[in-house]
């Protein structure tokens, strides 16, 4: 993730437009990105300062390249790198030894003359002999505790130049969110993924339903939080890649600029941003996948199956059942499949279902869970290897007949 000082954005009629590199307008950057990746892939043992200088050399002659854009690429490349760090204070101890030995020969000159007789190369050789180490090795470790002189140990990303540019585009949007007052997301699917990452990011949220299968998620932004606004801004920015990986969403954020001025940040799944996170899995387990495939897309006895089609919420407590059954007569029944064997997890699931007991929810659980936990509802659908369509239909029919 970028830092705020590396953010680049334009403002146009009340909108904030984070810096974005596109194939049409910035085709040359794909070549630059490949060269930058080559430098880092071949840069093991080089210092951070040397690697950054090499990146600067690539982009220095590009007219369409602000200084902060170069710094942003260096930051993203460093984020995918592992550097050797002096965590035991060896560099400081080595400096004290070297400086103590060199102090008696001060000042050092490149060539001895009638006034100064201590040549730098000769003194370095004497110090190396005294310490029992080659000078090249001493020179490498002398400032190993300074961030600019950390040496690259490993470079883990990116797959190619296009991936680096995609990460840059997302990172600039993330940087814009550091000063968000609020963010609203309208989503047609992948509700569970959106909520899961919102909770992981500890974002405060409210949820409303528009009555047509779309949910509105409102997240309070860092500028609206009285304390620890910077930390909350980072959390909101971390949430963004997860949202981008989802399908069929639209986002509107209010960004606080300097003073009382605010600007709108608008994005959607159609804007072409690419997340480094994988897209949400269609199913959480093989049991769910097998059941959905056996059910099919066509209705059965009037019941149509929808994957994670509804969000239940009471304040900050949220629950997304695995399946929603819609009947042709307008009735709706939810179903949750519990496949985890951890007693604590199952107990928490039961408590969640109890919180939403006013809704018609079918619970399916593995027979092993039924044996371990006696406080499961009596009408739980049990299964061993997979759910049986007939048994679910019978249960749905029973629910339908209830007043």
Instruction: Quote the pLDDT of residue 315.
Output: 65
200 and 236 in contact (C-beta within 8 Å)?
Answer: no
Grade residue 403 by pLDDT with cuts at 50, 70 and 90: very low
- Render pLDDT for 275-331 as a digit per residue (tens, 0 to 9): 998 888 777 788 899 999 999 999 999 999 998 888 887 766 778 888 999 999 888
Q: Residue 141: enclosing H or E segment and its boundaries?
A: helix 135-141
Q: Is the model's pLDDT at 245 over the cut of 70?
A: yes
Instruction: Quote the pLDDT of residue 298.
Output: 94
Instruction: Quote the pLDDT of residue 345.
Output: 72
Instruction: Quote the pLDDT of residue 160.
Output: 96
List Cα–Cα distances, 8 to 18, 70, 157, 211, 368, in angstroms. Answer: 6, 11, 23, 39, 55
Instruction: Quote the pLDDT of residue 228.
Output: 44
9 and 172 in contact (C-beta within 8 Å)?
Answer: yes
Helix (H, G, I), strand (E, B) or coil at 283: coil
Q: May I ask the CATH class of domain 286-401?
A: alpha beta
Instruction: Quote the pLDDT of residue 317.
Output: 73
Instruction: Quote the pLDDT of residue 89.
Output: 85
33 and 165 in contact (C-beta within 8 Å)?
Answer: yes
Alpha-carbon span 179 to 259, nearest angstrom: 12
- Render pLDDT for 181-237 as a digit per residue (tens, 0 to 9): 888 999 998 888 888 888 888 787 788 887 677 889 888 755 454 444 566 677 789
> What is the four-CA torsion angle of 306, 209, 174, 178, rounded to 10 degrees?
-150
- Render pLDDT for 268-289 as a digit per residue (tens, 0 to 9): 999 999 999 888 877 778 889 9
232 and 225 in contact (C-beta within 8 Å)?
Answer: yes
Grade residue 240 by pLDDT with cuts at 50, 70 and 90: very high
| Average pLDDT over every residue of 53-70 | 96
| Average pLDDT over every residue of 125-154 | 89
Alpha-carbon span 183 to 131, nearest angstrom: 60
- Of 69-83, 116-130, 315-329, 335-349, least confident by mean pLDDT is 335-349
Instruction: Quote the pLDDT of residue 283.
Output: 79
Q: Where do the domains of the chain lie?
A: 4-81+158-268, 90-144, 286-401
Peptide bond into 301 cis (omega under 30): no
Q: What are the tokens at 396?
A: 């749905």
Instruction: Quote the pLDDT of residue 229.
Output: 54
Q: Residue 363: enclosing H or E segment and its boundaries?
A: strand 361-366
Percent of the chain with pLDDT over 70: 91
CA 157, 162, 165, 169 dihedral sign is: negative
Grade residue 170 by pLDDT with cuts at 50, 70 and 90: very high
Supply the DSSP string of 198-225, one letter for each residue.
HHHTT--EEEEE-SSS-EEEEEE-GGG-
> Which of residues 257 and 68 earns the better pLDDT score?
68
Rounded to the nearest integer, the mean pLDDT of the chain is 87
> Which of residues 248 and 377 earns the better pLDDT score?
248
Q: What are the tokens at 20?
A: 């974005």
Alpha helices in 180-305 (DSSP H): 191-200, 229-244, 286-295
Neighbours of 203 (CB within 10 A): 20
385 and 391 in contact (C-beta within 8 Å)?
Answer: no
The model carries a pTM of: 0.77
Instruction: Quote the pLDDT of residue 232.
Output: 65
Q: Residue 252: enclosing H or E segment and its boundaries?
A: strand 249-256
Instruction: Quote the pLDDT of residue 158.
Output: 94
| Average pLDDT over every residue of 67-86 | 95
Peptide bond into 325 cis (omega under 30): no
Give the strands of the sheet with 180-187, arranged side by side. Answer: 9-12, 15-18, 262-268, 249-256, 180-187, 215-220, 205-209
CA angle 128, 144, 41 (to 5 degrees): 110
- Render pLDDT for 29-55 as a digit per residue (tens, 0 to 9): 999 999 999 999 999 999 999 999 999
Grade residue 391 by pLDDT with cuts at 50, 70 and 90: very high
Q: Is the model's pLDDT at 70 over the cut of 70?
A: yes
Alpha-carbon span 283 to 387, nearest angstrom: 15
300 and 393 in contact (C-beta within 8 Å)?
Answer: yes
Instruction: Quote the pLDDT of residue 226.
Output: 43
Q: Is the model's pLDDT at 374 over the cut of 90?
A: no
List Cα–Cα distances, 44 to 17, 37, 40, 59, 73, in angstroms. Answer: 36, 12, 7, 21, 18
């Amino acid at each position: 993730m970028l830092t705020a000082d590396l953010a680049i954005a334009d403002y146009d009629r009340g909108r904030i437009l984070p810096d974005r590199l596109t194939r049409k307008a910035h085709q040359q950057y794909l070549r630059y990105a490949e060269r930058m990746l080559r430098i880092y892939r071949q840069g093991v043992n080089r210092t951070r300062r040397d690697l950054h200088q090499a990146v600067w050399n690539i982009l220095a002659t590009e007219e369409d390249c602000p200084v902060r854009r170069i710094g942003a690429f260096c930051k993203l490349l460093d984020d995918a790198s592992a550097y050797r760090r002096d965590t035991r204070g060896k560099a400081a101890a080595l400096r004290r030894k070297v400086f103590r030995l060199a102090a008696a020969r001060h000042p050092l000159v490149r060539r001895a003359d009638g006034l100064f007789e201590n040549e730098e190369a000769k003194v370095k050789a004497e110090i190396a002999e005294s310490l029992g180490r080659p000078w090249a090795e001493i020179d490498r470790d002398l400032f190993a505790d300074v961030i600019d002189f950390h040496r690259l140990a490993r470079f883990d990303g990116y797959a190619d130049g296009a991936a680096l540019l995609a990460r840059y585009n997302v990172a600039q949007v993330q940087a814009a969110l550091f000063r968000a007052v609020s963010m609203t997301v309208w989503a047609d699917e992948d509700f569970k993924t959106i909520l899961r990452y919102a909770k992981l990011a500890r974002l405060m949220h409210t949820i409303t339903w528009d009555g047509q299968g779309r949910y509105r998620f409102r997240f309070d932004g860092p500028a609206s939080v009285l304390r620890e606004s910077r930390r909350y801004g980072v959390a909101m920015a971390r949430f963004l890649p997860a949202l981008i990986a989802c399908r069929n969403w639209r986002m509107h954020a209010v960004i606080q600029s300097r003073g009382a001025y605010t600007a709108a940040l608008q994005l959607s799944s159609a804007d072409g941003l690419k997340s480094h996170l994988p897209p949400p899995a269609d199913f959480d387990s093989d049991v769910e996948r097998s059941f959905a495939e056996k059910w099919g897309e066509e209705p059965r006895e009037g019941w149509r199956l929808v994957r994670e089609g509804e969000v239940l919420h009471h304040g900050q407590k949220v629950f997304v059942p695995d399946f929603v059954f819609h009947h042709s007569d307008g009735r709706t029944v939810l179903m949750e499949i519990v496949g985890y064997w951890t007693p604590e997890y199952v107990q928490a699931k039961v408590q969640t279902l109890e919180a939403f007991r006013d809704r018609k929810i079918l619970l399916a659980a593995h027979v092993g869970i039924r044996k371990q936990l006696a406080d499961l509802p009596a009408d739980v659908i049990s299964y061993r290897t997979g759910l049986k369509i007939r048994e679910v239909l019978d249960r749905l029919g029973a629910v339908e007949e209830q007043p």
